[in-house]
Amino acid sequence: MKKTVITFLSAVLFATGVKAQAPKYSNEFLNIGVGARALGMSNSYVTSVNDVTAGYWNPAGLNGIGNQHQVALMHSEYFAGIAKYDYGAFATRLDSASVLGISLIRFGVDDIPNTTELIDANGNVDYDRITTFSAVDWGFLVSYAKKSKIKGLNLGGSVKIIRRKVGDFAGAWGFGLDAGAQYDHNKWKFAAMARDVTSTFNAWSYNLSDETKAVFLQTGNEIPENGVEITLPKLILGASRKFDLSKKISLLAEVNLDNTFDGKRNVLVKTNVISMDPHIGIEAGYMDMIFLRGGIGNFQSYTDADGKKVRTLQPNIGVGVRIKSIYIDYALTDIGDQSVALYSNVFSIKIDINKKKPKS
């Protein structure tokens, strides 16, 4: 009976211990993406982003904000509503050449049963001993963008603080830096975004009771030890162009290339030195009020159980509407392999706020 007492808790704690040795999948909650506009374009957004969500996608894009202030909110649920993802951001223009932004991200699974103490000291099953806990990841970003002296070039950076918590059993504090640039040349836009440019470090600590440790040992699980989890740098390159098809209809197309340097990944282009993951997004606009979006990404190549080579990709779609200073967006997207995660409905809202002029 004791061998069945293996819960989500042990899986989470074991995973965090492994990540220190396999950092390529560290802090994955920060790779999901924010804003339904970007998600509908398959995260192809580092070049064209020009609003408050740039604090996440590419801080250089904050300089695209036309109003004095801008706020954004987003909510989505994944894995049939088990995991909830929430995002909020605020940006304010400091002067004609610089913008400051803050962003907050929460990704969590709540009400997880903890059955590690299901069996009492006498070997009896006692369901009253079952408690619940939450596994929550927090990301807090402070971003700054400034126009450079080079015409068309904007630069930006973000400082991010990470807090990860698994009930009262485990927790981590992390710190990292992002840096980005956008360059406008004629009708083209180019961008580079370096995430975790100095590597991001999460310091994990564990607080397990003696009884919980005993259950781990009896069920063949390792007792996790305090340690450091590292997120290695990623470089995202992008290019985009907006076409005016008529006075009322426009078409924006963007391509991004995610470059990682931590060994082979299951992406379209992979070597021992670098792996490259392309994704493409488009947005059709009508009178700058109604938008239709689509994109493809997450190209995968693997061998199935029958030894057959399988290639897959992930399509995303979305729509948006602008009503004066309010933007409402929707996307149908997934955070991974379609066979694992269910497609999710993502809603976000963005509001422009002008600073009121003093009365004369």
Q: What is the pLDDT of residue 356?
A: 54
Could you list the beta-strand ranges (E) of 17-130: 69-78, 83-95, 98-114
pLDDT per residue as tens digits for the range 148-199: 999 999 999 999 999 999 888 889 999 999 999 999 998 899 999 999 998 8
The model's pTM is: 0.84
8 A C-beta contact, residue 169 and residue 208: yes
The pLDDT of residue 1 is above 70: no
Average confidence score pLDDT of the chain: 86
Distance of CA 261 to the CA centre of its chain: 19
| Closest among 30, 25, 36 to 344, alpha carbons compared | 36
Q: Using CA atoms, how far apart are residues 22 and 202, in angstroms rounded to an integer?
A: 13
Mean of the pLDDT values across residues 197-211? 84
Where along the chain do its domains lie? 2-353
The pLDDT of residue 239 is above 90: yes
Q: What is the pLDDT of residue 79?
A: 79
Distance of CA 61 to the CA centre of its chain: 17
The pLDDT of residue 112 is above 90: no
Q: What is the pLDDT of residue 208?
A: 76
C-alpha angle 234-240-242 in degrees, rounded to nearest 5: 155
**Of 37-51, 149-163, 208-222, the least confident:** 208-222
pLDDT per residue as tens digits for the range 299-325: 887 777 788 888 888 899 999 999 999
Element (H, E) at 328: strand 326-333
Quick one: pLDDT band at residue 4, thresholds 50, 70, 90? very low
The CATH number, out of the four listed (2.40.160.40, 3.30.479.10, 1.10.287.3510, 3.40.50.1000), of the domain defined by the range 2-353: 2.40.160.40
